[in-house]
A and B are shown apart, each in its own frame.
Chain A
Amino acid sequence: EPEVTQTPSHQVTQMGQEVILRCVPISNHLYFYWYRQILGQKVEFLVSFYNNEISEKSEIFDDQFSVERPDGSNFTLKIRSTKLEDSAMYFCASRWREGGTEAFFGQGTRLTVV
């Protein structure tokens, strides 16, 4: 069964450092997403991406965040200068078209900022 894969599974970084979280969505999917879950809280939407541009972003997704699809398979989330409050589980998701279809989630990347 096709799946969304994320790397790394766990990353520890120093405050102020840049991190890049990587995702390989399902190959025929067209819509891509990042979600975040701070420990003990619910999963929150960060950003959606379609046709090589951001289609929607939340208020959490400020100038410190960026997304990119550098080639035909990878989808990345970059945090330029990490803060302690960026520590969270980050999930990538994809679906083959927008709303009304199943979204498939990766296993997540646990980011710890120290």
Chain B
Amino acid sequence: DVKVTQSSRYLVKRTGEKVFLECVQDMDHENMFWYRQDPGLGLRLIYFSYDVKMKEKGDIPEGYSVSREKKERFSLILESASTNQTSMYLCASSLPGTGGLEKETQYFGPGTRLLVL
């Protein structure tokens, strides 16, 4: 079974703080993703990564950065947290490849609900 874990289920931070959200997957997946999910807006892609030390901007990268130093770990960084970054953050991973959509399936972690005061 694929397992994607996130460092915290709930997090409360203050405006201006630097925030680190950690995601670890145990299935040797190459692709990893960070989304945020807000009521009425659905899932929006922040950043993704195809491989170690590689990163690509998603649809809403502003105010975020990422780090992928090891294949199994993908970190999302809020350089200076703001109240509009209060959200549910979801990490996902997938194993890319040809010949089957099973490999494109994204598996999600449990999510981190972040509140910025």
- A is bound by B: no
List residues of A whose CB falls within 8 A of some B CB.
none
